[in-house]
Amino acid sequence: MANQSHITIFAPALSQPAGEPLSYGGLVEAIRNGEAQELLWDPDLRKVRVTLLGGRQSVVDVFPENPVLIQEADAAGIPLTIQDSRQQQALTGLMGNLLLVVLILVGLAFLLRRSAKAANRALGFGRSKPRLRAENDIKVCFEDVAGINEAKNELQEVVAFLKQPDRFTSIGARIPRGVLLVGPPGTGKTLLARAVAGEAGVHFFSISASEFVELFVGVGASRVRNLFRQAKEKAPCIVFIDEIDAVGRQRGAGIGGGNDEREQTLNQLLTEMDGFEDNSGVILLAATNRPDVLDTALLRPGRFDRRVLVDLPDRHGREAILNVHARTRPISPEVDLATWARRTPGFSGADLANLLNEAAILTARSQKQCIQDNHIMGALERVTMGLPAAPLQDSGKKRLIAYHEVGHALLATLLDRADDLDKVTLLPRSGGVGGFTRFIPDEMVVDSGLVTRARLQAQMVVSMGGRAAELVVFGKQEITQGASSDIEAVTTTAREMVTRYGFSSLGPVAWEGDQAEVFIGRDWLQQRPTYSKDTAKALDEEVQQLAKQALAKACDLLSRHRPLMDQLTDELIEQETITGDQFRAIVDRYQRQTAPPDHHVGTGQTTAVNCLKASPRPHPASEGAGGGG
């Protein structure tokens, strides 16, 4: 029993040592011969690691219960250590359990945190989140807004009140509580509202009306209340609501006149605007491009007292806008922005900004240092006609399109009331446009919005130029569908002349009104003709007569100038692009050579010419042409 003191319990790990392993018999023999110096036994692994003379170690497989080994080790006086691997297993299990507990606690904390955030969102769901700009933080002023001088003058009173309120209150004046900015998209309504805040140096709240409306009932009204409560705390300030028609549409327009969430939001908005105290320092600016759909209660005095029209800029306004955007771009000294302002009628401020941006992109692509006229021209064609396509290769199709475009351009040059020709080209554009003819509208007509009957008739004749050229040159059986868009434009113009403008034999009667957007449930069922079937037949006959007269006059002019049309077509096929000045120079030279001294083109009555019986020219190609201009 004394030898049992050599038996200890230790827990190091067993590993296979270097050298040739012993067998069980070899281990017992080594113990008996005194060659073993130390034994390490792991009953769970059924292995014994023996240290021999010279420090060599070996691992031997044994049985879990081996009294012989213990007896031999005791008899030889060799230290025997028994490894208890249960302690290591228990420690490993404990660590695994602790890790599992830690993971559970972390998961619970994450879930509780997300639940807290969701609760916070639920509690703040009715709070509006307007974008607040502090006073003197807005750098935009009236100098950065060009082309809308009338609107800026209207808003000068708002700026003066925010800067000097005593000047108005001392004489009992009340500043308008709300100002509605009305105008087409891209005219600068939002920029103008920011400029008012920048000039006045006050806080500026901006939010879109669509952010008020939510799926849940009452959320929109709650957000409206929260917005005006924040505004009153920051007074004097400006509250700007963009696209207010999203919540301000007329009430009772739905099927059955339901009381939906949008109407609840509108009702709350009406109440809050009435809740403004006189001269409280909170001014509401709103923008929309659909004032016709707004509720009448929203537009009454005391809510939106002023309606400021932010219309498309005129020629001088477009030039000022181009100068503003040219400050940050290298423009060549040869570029005349006044000329480009004249060539872009109907462009809004956003369109002009996009035009110069596209020109800058083309300049960078061509590795130039400044923007030149050709870059602006490429940008203009890109934004109006689309991306360039592959040039036409088929000579027959190219000639057919050339005659089509020359028909438009020649009629515009011959008629006094037509718009000036800017460019005619055969270079195709994406979208199936094989070529196009661009005109410069009369500035007086664009600015005033008034158009005469003679000008409308001239426009229809020019629009029929493509079809008339095909009839005169190729005959009735060889016309193509390339004039489909031109015929649609003529039909629309002729119908407006008959049904809205009173330019027909039926008299000055407006048979149809503006085709505005209908409200389902209120106006939908009323969209029926208010005239009889006989009147409808008469209207259709008048529209047909106007369209036929336009085509007959186009055929008459082109037939009498057939040699000139052939010459212009050959010139266009050779050059592919002819500017308006070049085109007019060719026409003037031809007229001086052929026209009598007292001949004046474009006036007088139209000669009755049957275009369908014109002498046809052999068709140059068997396939149809692309889209016309």
Residue type, 78: I
- Domain 315-385 belongs to what topology? Helicase, Ruva Protein; domain 3 (1.10.8)
**Can you give the pLDDT at residue 610?**
43
**Can you give the pLDDT at residue 135?**
56
**Can you give the pLDDT at residue 549?**
94
Q: Which residues pair with 133 in a beta bridge?
A: 204
Confidence of residue 622 (pLDDT cuts 50, 70, 90): very low
**In this predicted model, which residue has the larger pLDDT, 492 or 62?**
492
Tell me the C-alpha distance between 557 and 349, whole Å. 39
Confidence of residue 461 (pLDDT cuts 50, 70, 90): very high
Confidence of residue 555 (pLDDT cuts 50, 70, 90): very high
Catalytic residue among 35, 199, 243, 405: 405
Mean pLDDT throughout 350-360? 92
Domain span(s) for CATH 3.30.720.210 in the chain:
2-83
Which strands form 36-42's sheet, in the order they lie side by side?
A: 7-10, 80-83, 36-42, 47-52, 57-61
Residue type, 358: E
- Nearest 5°: the CA angle 544, 546, 548 is 65
Residue 52 CB partners (closer than 8 Å, separation 6+): 30, 35, 36, 37, 58
Confidence of residue 548 (pLDDT cuts 50, 70, 90): very high
Could you write out the three-class secondary structure of 472-494? HHHCHHHCCHHHHHHHHHHHHHH
3-class DSSP assignment, residue 52: strand
Q: Is 405 a catalytic residue?
A: yes
Run of H or E including 180: strand 178-182
Tell me the C-alpha distance between 200 and 165, whole Å. 11
Tell me the C-alpha distance between 579 and 589, whole Å. 16
**Can you give the pLDDT at residue 558?**
93
What single-letter DSSP state applies at residue 65? S
CA 557 to chain centre: 44
Query: pLDDT at residue 625 above 50?
Result: no
Domain span(s) for CATH 1.10.8.60 in the chain:
315-385
Q: Give the highest mean pLDDT range of 17-31, 59-73, 92-106, 424-438.
A: 92-106
pLDDT one-digit tens code per residue, 289-336: 888 888 888 888 888 888 888 888 888 888 999 998 888 889 998 999
φ, ψ at 118 (rounded to 5°): -65, -40
Confidence of residue 358 (pLDDT cuts 50, 70, 90): very high
Q: Are 119 and 112 in contact (CB under 8 A)?
A: no
What single-letter DSSP state applies at residue 1? -
Q: What is the dihedral of CA 27, 29, 31, 33, to 10 degrees?
A: -150
**Which architecture does CATH list for 2-83?**
2-Layer Sandwich (3.30)
Confidence of residue 556 (pLDDT cuts 50, 70, 90): very high
**Can you give the pLDDT at residue 20?**
59
Q: Which of 254-263, 267-276, 428-437, 612-621 has the lowest mean pLDDT?
A: 612-621
Instruction: Note the pTM of the prediction, 2 decimals.
Output: 0.66
State the Rg of the chain over Cα.
44
**Can you give the pLDDT at residue 598?**
54
Could you write out the three-class secondary structure of 262-282? HHHHHHHHHHHHHCCCCCCCE
- Nearest 5°: the CA angle 198, 204, 205 is 155
Q: What is the dihedral of CA 262, 265, 269, 275, to 10 degrees?
A: 150
- Nearest 5°: the CA angle 86, 90, 96 is 145
**Can you give the pLDDT at residue 205?**
85
Q: Which of 139-148, 336-345, 372-381, 596-605 has the lowest mean pLDDT?
A: 596-605
Residue 312 CB partners (closer than 8 Å, separation 6+): 183, 184, 187, 346, 347, 348
Dmax (CA) for the chain in angstroms is 149
Confidence of residue 567 (pLDDT cuts 50, 70, 90): very high
Mean pLDDT throughout 492-507? 89
| HSE, side-chain direction, 13 A CA sphere, residue 89 | 6
Residue with tokens 């020629």: 315
Q: Are 218 and 264 in contact (CB under 8 A)?
A: yes
**Can you give the pLDDT at residue 469?**
93
Residue type, 349: G
Mean pLDDT throughout 38-50? 72
pLDDT one-digit tens code per residue, 381-395: 888 887 777 677 667
Q: Which two tokens stand for residue 545?
A: 């007569």
Let me know how long the chain is. 629
Residue 88 CB partners (closer than 8 Å, separation 6+): 11
Burial of 292 (0-12, 13-18, 19+ CB in 10 A): exposed
Tell me the C-alpha distance between 124 and 557, whole Å. 72
Mean pLDDT throughout 498-516? 80
Tell me the C-alpha distance between 582 and 441, whole Å. 18
Tell me the C-alpha distance between 472 and 407, whole Å. 10
Q: Report the chain's mean pLDDT, rounded to a whole number.
A: 78
Residue type, 199: E
Q: Which of 177-181, 222-226, 347-351 has the lowest mean pLDDT?
A: 222-226
Query: pLDDT at residue 179 above 60?
Result: yes
Residue type, 100: L
pLDDT > 70: percent of the chain: 76
Residue 18 CB partners (closer than 8 Å, separation 6+): 56, 57
Q: Which of 140-154, 214-228, 476-490, 591-605 has the lowest mean pLDDT?
A: 591-605
Tell me the C-alpha distance between 315 and 191, whole Å. 20
Query: pLDDT at residue 540 above 60?
Result: yes
Question: Which among 273, 199, 205, 211 has a CA at the least distance from the CA of 233?
Answer: 205
**Which architecture does CATH list for 131-309?**
3-Layer(aba) Sandwich (3.40)
**Can you give the pLDDT at residue 133?**
62
Query: pLDDT at residue 615 above 70?
Result: no
Q: Are 483 and 628 in contact (CB under 8 A)?
A: yes
Confidence of residue 450 (pLDDT cuts 50, 70, 90): confident
Q: State in words which class domain 395-613 has.
A: mainly alpha
Residue type, 377: M
Domain span(s) for CATH 3.40.50.300 in the chain:
131-309
**Can you give the pLDDT at residue 595?**
58
Confidence of residue 515 (pLDDT cuts 50, 70, 90): low
Q: Are 275 and 303 in contact (CB under 8 A)?
A: no
Q: Give the highest mean pLDDT range of 108-117, 590-599, 610-619.
A: 108-117
Tell me the C-alpha distance between 427 and 530, whole Å. 47
**Can you give the pLDDT at residue 115?**
67
Query: pLDDT at residue 7 above 70?
Result: no
> Cα(first)–Cα(last) distance of the chain, in Å?
118
Tell me the C-alpha distance between 239 and 193, whole Å. 9
Tell me the C-alpha distance between 293 and 246, whole Å. 10
